[in-house]
Structure 1
Amino acid sequence: MDNFRIHSEIRAIYQFPADVFSNAQRRQGAVLLHIVGALYMFLALAIVCDDYFVVSLEKICKKLNLSEDVAGATFMAAGSSAPELFASIIGVFIAHSDVGFGTIVGSAVFNILCITAVCGLFAGQVVYLTKYPLFRDCICYTLSVLALIAFIYDGEIVWWESLVLVLMYFGYILIMKFNSSIERCLGGGCCEKATPNGSAFAPLENDGRFHGKYSDDPRKPLLSLGSTMENVKWLVSWPIVFFLYLTVPDCSQSHREKYFLLAFFGSTLWIAVFSYIMVWMVTIIGYTLGIPDVIMGITFLAAGTSVPDCIASLLVARQGQGDMAVSNSLGSNVFDILVGLGIPWSVQTLAVSVGSKVQINSRGLIYSVALLLGSVASTILAIHGNGWRLDARLGVCALLLYAIFVTFSILIEYNMFTFVNLPMCFKE
């Protein structure tokens, strides 16, 4: 077990193709190229998820006639969590490290706190939430975290533990199937949406933008810094957009809507490719800078892979659909833990190597997972104390809580509070 931990980072980097630069060359500045490559993959994942994958899933939700909160907690959550799932798969089957697990844990906290912060700060209006969907998703998420803590406590995952996680997700889907019936049975105040109570809304224009912030006349040049960033984004991302346009049908267009299943499978393939390159680059960066894989997952990868979640939640929040935005972030967490970890672990222990165990290298992860419970409780208390409103004040509070979580997670992994990790080994 200890030998596995000592050599985990070396094992991880040598599971990928050999880098053209030596470790010494990377330390002298070549690592910047890998950082740029990882950031470019984050952009690629955001584009393919937002423009193709999530759109195809929205068409599926439309065909199934799902309500907004159920769609957010299931299909929309699964769509925007695809990068985390593939990062976990790559961590188990290719890198053989904690990078995927760390990504799932960090992404879960990012989804709860950072997405809440972004929606609160940039929704452009005060969004009021319904109590029932939030409590439903928080309870399901809390049970998922408790199961994960129990299973990783001994530092390894056996076949039945991974299977329980997958079965729990089927139970979650079952709850979603009978969501309307459960809501009717509960009745009362828990199913009511908070009201403005005299507070003024700051409504958005039909196109989802702030009043008076941009010119509505397309003939007038847009000289603002937002417009500049859009131009830069277009210039940087056009190769990605071009290849996606050639290989994946855009089912958002009416004449291509019938190809939504083809768009689903095509975008899934691209997500797998982009995720592989992303984890490869991040593994090299972490090894070069002496940062454990789990920290790279909790921080860098978690933020990058959660961009689709953030974009999707912000878009629906700007349309006033707060329940869908929050259900998307919490539903993504349930998907990340039960499917993002459960599926790769189940395949490894039940199919690839029957009866084998998946080793959890970092003992610090159990403390980070335990902090997930604190993030859930903090979010619920903050929302309740804020009158079930998603606004700027709640956003600032959530952002501060996220900073606290990241700080403590990093300090734990570096053995600042207790000994959880053996030192990294380096090889030129």
Structure 2
Amino acid sequence: MASVTILAFVIQDGQVMWYESLAMLILYSLYILVMKYNSKLIEISQEYIGRRLEDGLPEDIGVLSPLLNRKNKTPHVLESGTQPRREIFTEIPFDQPTRIWNIIGKVLTYPGHLLLKLTIPSCHNQANVLLILTFFMCGIWMAGLTYIITWMITILGVELTIPHAVMGITFIAAGLSIPEMVSSVIVAKQGLGSMALSNTIGSSIFGILVCMGLPWFLDASLIRSNHFTPISSAGLDHSLFILVICILIMYLLFCCNNFKLDMKIGLMCLIMYVFFIILFIYTEVKF
């Protein structure tokens, strides 16, 4: 809520000043600081709540957050998804594709796999220096592919006379969020509902405050002589207001559903997303 609110305040006049983007970076630093002392804040809140409950609180209430509505819970899995360490990284039983599709997929992805294998050192049984090099090369590939995807989608939007903001909030946002979605599905299948939800929230906060705040700060302070970055979008301020409402509705849905993620919550989130996209396109595209 704070991230979206400050973003709406920053772009309301159509330009981002250098000190406004700096404020976004400072806010993210405060967010990291809160996460560092999160366990201490939980202890304080437990003591505060415990004094107001006659029966007290269980010792492990800090880790209990029943976000997954699992029909077949195993005895060793808590409702929050806390598991023994040996089971957290077990293989997830996904449906295997048919043989013909498996062959086609391997043929199509072989050039990419070969190129990545030649340029990225393996992280298995390697020294710490090679682990750093592996991480560095993965970052280079991600940055390069992201640039190519953004460039191609921008050209496609120009050819189809679609505003950049619409292409960004639909194609680019969906494409760059697929890895995040896959990782959330994997940890959710393992019962780690809290990790799946916090992954989504944390990446959104990082995307708003850092992935926009840092480029804006560098552009306004080092490149532009007038020290501000112009924002060309007619519907961003309205869409951010709608996004705040969607966040409130989502939190209310969690409260009404006893903080469990099930099919009803997923369906309502999808409906809100479609509603949000329709309204944004309506404000951006001149029919």
**TM-score when normalising by structure 2:** 0.83
* Aligned match of 2:150: 279
Contact 2:157 2:167 in 1 (8 A): yes
In the TM superposition, residue 397 of structure 1 has moved relative to its aligned partner by 1.7
Q: Which one-letter code corresponds to 1:209 in the other structure?
A: P
* Aligned match of 2:244: 373
Q: Residue deviations 1:160-202, cap 9 Å, x none?
A: 1010001111111111111111111111478452459997326
In the TM superposition, residue 332 of structure 1 has moved relative to its aligned partner by 0.5
* 2:15 paired with 1:182: no
In the TM superposition, residue 293 of structure 1 has moved relative to its aligned partner by 0.9
In the TM superposition, residue 209 of structure 1 has moved relative to its aligned partner by 1.8
* Aligned match of 1:241: 113
Higher RCO, 1 or 2 (CA under 8 Å, sep at least 6)? Answer: 1
What is the rounded CA distance, in whole Å, between the counterparts of 2:93 and 2:73 in structure 1? 11
Contact 2:68 2:262 in 1 (8 A): no
Contact 1:159 1:356 in 2 (8 A): yes
* Aligned match of 1:58: none
SS in 2 for 1:323: helix
* Aligned match of 1:267: 138
Q: How does 1:248-397 map to 2 (within 5 A)?
A: 248-251=120-123, 253-255=124-126, 259-353=130-224, 355-397=226-268
What is the rounded CA distance, in whole Å, between the counterparts of 1:339 and 1:304 in structure 2? 19
* Aligned match of 1:15: none
Q: Residue deviations 1:304-346, cap 9 Å, x none?
A: 0111111111111111111111111000010001001100000
Contact 1:249 1:256 in 2 (8 A): no
* Aligned match of 1:173: 32
* 2:42 paired with 1:158: no
Contact 1:194 1:387 in 2 (8 A): no
Contact 2:67 2:193 in 1 (8 A): no
What is the rounded CA distance, in whole Å, between the counterparts of 1:311 and 1:199 in structure 2? 19
What is the rounded CA distance, in whole Å, between the counterparts of 1:239 and 1:329 in structure 2? 31
What is the rounded CA distance, in whole Å, between the counterparts of 1:343 and 1:376 in structure 2? 24
SS in 2 for 1:254: coil
SS in 2 for 1:361: coil
SS in 2 for 1:208: coil
What is the rounded CA distance, in whole Å, between the counterparts of 1:264 and 1:191 in structure 2? 33
* Aligned match of 1:145: 4
What is the rounded CA distance, in whole Å, between the counterparts of 1:269 and 1:321 in structure 2? 30
What is the rounded CA distance, in whole Å, between the counterparts of 1:269 and 1:160 in structure 2? 29
**TM-score when normalising by structure 1:** 0.57
Contact 1:144 1:334 in 2 (8 A): yes
What is the rounded CA distance, in whole Å, between the counterparts of 2:128 and 2:268 in structure 1? 41
In the TM superposition, residue 235 of structure 1 has moved relative to its aligned partner by 2.5
Q: Residue deviations 1:346-390, cap 9 Å, x none?
A: 001112235421111112111112222122112212222222212
What is the rounded CA distance, in whole Å, between the counterparts of 1:317 and 1:355 in structure 2? 47
What is the rounded CA distance, in whole Å, between the counterparts of 1:391 and 1:230 in structure 2? 31
Q: Across the two proteins, how many residue pairs are aligned to each other? A: 262
Contact 1:159 1:349 in 2 (8 A): yes
Which one of the candidate residues 407, 410, 415 is aligned to 2:278? 407
* 2:91 paired with 1:207: yes
Q: Residue deviations 1:95-123, cap 9 Å, x none?
A: xxxxxxxxxxxxxxxxxxxxxxxxxxxxx
* Aligned match of 2:81: none
Q: How does 1:9-28 map to 2 (within 5 A)?
A: none
SS in 1 for 2:272: helix
In the TM superposition, residue 414 of structure 1 has moved relative to its aligned partner by 1.8
SS in 2 for 1:389: coil
Contact 1:371 1:405 in 2 (8 A): yes
Distance 1:350 1:196, change over 3 A: closer
Q: CA RMSD in A?
A: 2.6
